[in-house]
Amino acid sequence: MDNIRAKKGFIIDMDGVIYHGNYLLPGVLEFVNWLKQENKEFLFLTNSSERSPKELQQKLERLGIEVDEHHFHTSAIATASFLASQTPGGSVYVIGEAGLTNALYDAGFSMNDVNPDYVVVGDTRSYSFEKIEHAVRLVLKGAKLIGTNPDLTGPTERGIVPATKALIAPIELATGRQAYFIGKPNPLMMRHALKKLKTQSDETAIIGDRMDTDIIAGIESEIETVLVLSGVSSRDTVKRFPYRPDYILDGVGDIVPGYSNK
């Protein structure tokens, strides 16, 4: 544990690590206070594309956690940045929430439901057969299919819900086209995070609740990995993968010296 506590920078997932929906997880307040007291560099890096950094900052504030907006980076921002580098000033058809749409607008994209360069799918609750049907037509006409993240599910206070990879699957199956996913474990997302932190990989740890995104992202980026069991993974989950995290903890509070949730 001392190796983790000595790290200069921390990349921290949010859903299942910091909160479930609108429920703050145990030990989070103590962990964030410890990060501040120890002058650690930290970045909340979420595969969710629903909210902007400002909205995430405000959500944590409502839950009793005060951090600046610059501590947040989302798959929506990473997706917009990648697409802008590929097709500057392009157009998109979006199935997603305001955090994704606004990130694409900010990157210079216009909304287009006739002949877009890309069909972009993110986490959303405004999902319908009509949108899937329209997306299928656009992809078959030549639009490239993009997913903000490869998560199949996500944790909420009500339990597990479908995430982007599950939502985009009908479009892939109907068109025979494979989506390109931007969020973790894509190395693009991890490079963005390290640049924002201004730390090297060996000075950094990634904390997440998913073996298939957070932990593999850390392993492939040579960043020390911490799996917390407060989200979608259990110790039995770990056994199903051919790789292991460096540490397995009940929650982020366990990183704080002297913390007890008893």
Strand, coil or helix: what is 227? strand
Parallel, antiparallel or unpaired: strands 72-74 and 110-111:
unpaired
**pLDDT above 70 covers what percent of the chain?**
100
The more confidently predicted of residues 232 and 8 is: 8
Quickly tell me which residue has 């899937």 as its tokens: 132
- With CA atoms as reference, report the closest residue to 188 among 164, 215, 220: 220
pLDDT at 245: 97
Domain boundaries defined on the chain: 2-47+184-255, 86-181
Q: What is the pLDDT of residue 262?
A: 57
- Report the amino acid identity of residue 251: G
Q: Is the Cβ–Cβ distance between 197 and 11 less than 8 Å?
A: yes
What gap in Å lies between CA 24 and CA 14, rounded to an integer? 10
Q: Is 202 a catalytic residue?
A: no
114 CB-contact burial (10 Å; exposed 0-12 / middle 13-18 / buried 19+): exposed
Host H or E run for residue 93: strand 91-95
What pLDDT is attached to residue 256?
96
The alpha helices in the chain, defined as continuous H runs, are: 2-5, 28-37, 53-62, 75-86, 98-106, 129-140, 164-175, 187-197, 216-220, 235-239
Q: CB neighbours (10 Å) of residue 261? A: 11
List the beta bridge partners of residue 24. Answer: 19
Q: Which of 2, 13, 209, 214 is catalytic?
A: 13
Model pLDDT, residue 261? 72
Say which of 2, 15, 212, 250 is annotated catalytic.
15
Segment 173-197, tens digit of pLDDT: 999 999 999 999 998 899 989 999 9
Band the pLDDT of 71: cuts 50, 70, 90.
Answer: very high
Cα distance between residue 54 and residue 69, in whole Å: 6
Mean pLDDT of 225-246: 95
What residue has token string 């405000």? 58
Q: Region 103-123: what's the mean pLDDT?
A: 97
Q: What is the mean pLDDT of residues 3-25?
A: 94
13 is catalytic: yes
CATH number assigned to the domain covering 2-47+184-255: 3.40.50.1000
- pLDDT of 209 above 90: yes
Query: Looking at 1-5, 64-68, 211-215, which range is the least confident one?
Result: 1-5
The CATH class of the 86-181 domain is: alpha beta
In order of 48, 83, 122, 172, the CA distances from 87 in angstroms are 23, 6, 19, 22
Instruction: Quick: pLDDT tens for 126-167.
Output: 899 999 999 999 999 999 999 999 999 877 777 778 999 999
Dihedral over Cα of 226, 194, 217, 12: its sign: positive
| CA distances in angstroms from 10 to 40, 47, 125, listed in the order given | 7, 16, 30
Q: Quick check: do 2-47+184-255 and 86-181 share a fold? A: yes
Cβ distance 228 to 208 under 8 Å? Answer: yes
Q: What is the pLDDT of residue 153?
A: 86
| pLDDT tier at 235, thresholds 50, 70, 90 | very high
